[in-house]
Structure 1
Amino acid sequence: MNESLVSKYKDIITSRGLTYHYLSVPAVDDKPTLFFVHGFPSISYDWYHQINYFSEKGFGVVAPDMLGYGGTSKPTDISLFLHTAIAQDLLDILDAEKVQKAIAVGHDWGTRIVSVLSMKHSDRFLGFAWVVVAYQIYTPLPPIDVILEMNIKTFGRPLLGYWKFFEQESAAQIIEKNLESLISVLYPDDPDSWLTLMNQPGEIQAFIASGKTTKRAGYLTDEHHSRLLESLRKGGLASPLNWYKSTIGSVNSRIMEDIPEENQFIKKPAFFAVARKDHVCVYDYAVPQMKQYATGGLHLVEFQGGHWVQLEEPETFNRELHCWIRDTLQQNC
């Protein structure tokens, strides 16, 4: 990230009393503001390619450390990870920055919050972008073993085997002892390693508990790796893992009850970057899901790599996102 942007970080106490640490760069003239929402196990720095690119072109940029990460509060109370409440936290940030209209861009768990923003607060946004993980409708989830059986029936293999590890009480302690192992799994040089380590139950737990590492991806630079490692060492994993536990449990199971059916569709323009080699957020599910719900228009961009397309192919990603903003939202740019 450009050194001049480091001083642009701020802190806010949201309406429910949580501290959020976030980067804010004001827009120039009438350019829109991009609101970048990261996932697991990231920090706002994960968007540094996009922050540099769009801020240099006069776009506003807001990028928070999400709940559980970086300089933001790290609660262990699972109930605080209600996604509608987290969405309101983010609106509190936009209100503090006097941003009335933004473009929300989410990756990984950040896409869940972008989905909530689309369903409940669409009027505050010009458009929405999902990176790798598709738009999500909330439904009560069955036990993880049932989900894995459903994966096998639909896709011929389990997809979420790693959830069985992340939901365990011992997971945070095991990972904290072997952070390098976790990072090497999640940012791998070979995305096909997820076919075993992420998809198959028991594999990631055994791998991390033994302290093994796989070759780290080249797109995870030494600087980025150091920042990520420092953040996780300082804050631990107990709070970040609540993103999984709050979804596997009942915390987020009733979100749809107060959302009218017509609001379950994406009414604003939508951008979707899909990855052919993301073996968890699979193409064959993600694309039909987006096409079903994106009634306000969908721009789909296909990447051949894995889960971290904004890091792996930043030039292409930034160009495609920029072109979508220019062409689809031209009247607001």
Structure 2
Amino acid sequence: MNMMMMNYEVDHQRIKTNGIWMHVAEKGTGPLVLLIHGFPEIWYAWRHQINHLADNGYHVVAPDLRGYGDSDAPLSPNSYTMLHIVGDLIGLIDHFGQQKAYVVGHDWGAVAGWYLSLFRPDRVMALVTLSVPYFPRSPTAKTIQSILQLYGDGCHVIQFQEPGRAERAFARYDYTTVMKKFLLITDKMIAPPDMEIIDFLETKWSLPPWLKEEDVQVFAEKFEESGFTGAFNYYRAMDLTWELLAPWQGSKITVPVKFMIGDKEFGFHSGGIKDYVEGDEFKSLVPNLEVVVLDGHHFIQQENPQEVSNQILSFLRQHPMDQ
């Protein structure tokens, strides 16, 4: 185990859930809080929040999602729909013997949190999502076609579709460089025509105060072990998820939600995200919603950890578990 990871004094175990073995980092006692990471991360993305929440009376569990880190990585992209991911999380809640959990998710973890709350609101006490709002399912257009029409082939979502394409492009760089390219993103993730997104992203060799070289190495070492295919498979399953979501067409997220987003998130100002998350449609889909705009970019829980931790803790305390 990397010495940097050991410094955070979390317990590690692998749990059988939904037909796979899932690695989790765990700390504290009290009501269960699931911290769900995004792309391209592992449980370690929540290192600051794990300590803060555990110190304030919560049982914090941060899994590596399927395909990531020390969790199993099924080979087929069809095994990475949101129904699979939600099934994994329900299995975790069951494993810890809880009827309900608090759920906190960032990026793909936010998507997982949205759908966990949509499919099984009876298992979610309250939801905190970061960076990715809930978008309604289009009744007519599949997800990938919609994204292609909006952003073209330079969008990372489109480039990740073809098996092997992104793997070959990423392989031109060492894992440390790949992690720096993504963790330090400040611009939109759309490459010019005929250019791979990994080539387009800037490599910044000087790190900001919130990210240490040792932190980058924790991520890089895990992706060197696992590769990126499991992470790419979430994107490759997006159209299948769209097909499977048809029964929930028009459904609302009814659990209490706090949504946080950085004011420098790509697309926040120029892409209409600010208007959407502060507008009527989002609130109609998520009636019990609080929106918080923070100072920061995409990886907000690492960049602005104390503010994010405080926001999470205050929201959980507003919604205490039934005694």
- Superposed pair shares fold, TM > 0.5: yes
**Residue 162 of structure 1: aligned partner:** 156
Letter in 1 for 2:41: S
**Residue 182 of structure 1: aligned partner:** 178
Shift, 1:163, TM fit: 2.2
Shift, 1:258, TM fit: 2.6
**Residue 21 of structure 1: aligned partner:** 23
Shift, 1:185, TM fit: 2.2
> In the superposition, relative to structure 1, how do residues 65 and 321 fare at CA in structure 2: closer, same or farther (>3 Å)?
same
> In the superposition, relative to structure 1, how do residues 126 and 166 fare at CA in structure 2: closer, same or farther (>3 Å)?
same
**Residue 266 of structure 1: aligned partner:** 253
Shift, 1:278, TM fit: 0.9
> In the superposition, relative to structure 1, how do residues 212 and 318 fare at CA in structure 2: closer, same or farther (>3 Å)?
closer
Shift, 1:285, TM fit: 3.1
> In the superposition, relative to structure 1, how do residues 160 and 219 fare at CA in structure 2: closer, same or farther (>3 Å)?
farther
TM-score, length of structure 1 as denominator length: 0.84
Shift, 1:268, TM fit: 1.5
Alignment deviations for residues 274-333 of structure 1 (CA, whole Å, 9 cap, x no partner): 2221114632333435322221x222211131001111111111111211222x314648
**Residue 284 of structure 1: aligned partner:** 275
**Residue 36 of structure 2: aligned partner:** 37
Give identity over the alignment, percent.
Answer: 24
Count of residues in correspondence between the two structures: 311
**Residue 235 of structure 1: aligned partner:** 226
Shift, 1:138, TM fit: 3.5
Shift, 1:7, TM fit: 5.4
Alignment deviations for residues 175-222 of structure 1 (CA, whole Å, 9 cap, x no partner): 13313332222111x62xx23xx123448626538x972344442222
Give the CA RMSD over aligned residues: 2.7
Report the Cα distance in structure 2 between the residues aligned to 1:159 and 1:26, rounded to whole angstroms: 45
Query: 1:1-333, aligned counterparts within 5 Å?
Result: 3=6, 6=9, 8-15=11-18, 17-28=19-30, 32-139=31-138, 141-142=141-142, 144=144, 147-150=147-150, 161-168=155-162, 169-178=164-173, 179-188=175-184, 191=186, 194-195=187-188, 198-202=189-193, 205=196, 208=199, 213-215=203-205, 216-247=207-238, 250-259=239-248, 261=250, 264-280=251-267, 282-288=273-279, 290-295=282-287, 297-326=288-317, 328-330=318-320, 332=322
TM-score, length of structure 2 as denominator length: 0.86
For the 8 Å contact 1:37–1:44, the answer to whether it is kept is yes
Report the Cα distance in structure 1 between the residues aligned to 2:143 and 2:291, rounded to whole angstroms: 32
Letter in 1 for 2:282: M
Shift, 1:5, TM fit: 5.8
Shift, 1:84, TM fit: 0.9
For the 8 Å contact 1:9–1:21, the answer to whether it is kept is yes
Report the Cα distance in structure 1 between the residues aligned to 2:195 and 2:119, rounded to whole angstroms: 36
Report the Cα distance in structure 2 between the residues aligned to 1:256 and 1:166, rounded to whole angstroms: 21
For the 8 Å contact 1:40–1:240, the answer to whether it is kept is yes
For the 8 Å contact 1:159–1:280, the answer to whether it is kept is no
Runs of 4+ residues over 6 Å off in structure 1:
none
Letter in 2 for 1:313: N
Letter in 2 for 1:187: L
Report the Cα distance in structure 2 between the residues aligned to 1:277 and 1:123, rounded to whole angstroms: 34
Report the Cα distance in structure 1 between the residues aligned to 2:11 and 2:24, rounded to whole angstroms: 8
Report the Cα distance in structure 2 between the residues aligned to 1:237 and 1:18, rounded to whole angstroms: 18
Report the Cα distance in structure 1 between the residues aligned to 2:204 and 2:90, rounded to whole angstroms: 39
For the 8 Å contact 1:112–1:136, the answer to whether it is kept is no
> In the superposition, relative to structure 1, how do residues 57 and 41 fare at CA in structure 2: closer, same or farther (>3 Å)?
same
Report the Cα distance in structure 1 between the residues aligned to 2:304 and 2:99, rounded to whole angstroms: 30
- Stretches of structure 2 lacking an aligned partner (at least 5 in a row): none
Letter in 2 for 1:200: A
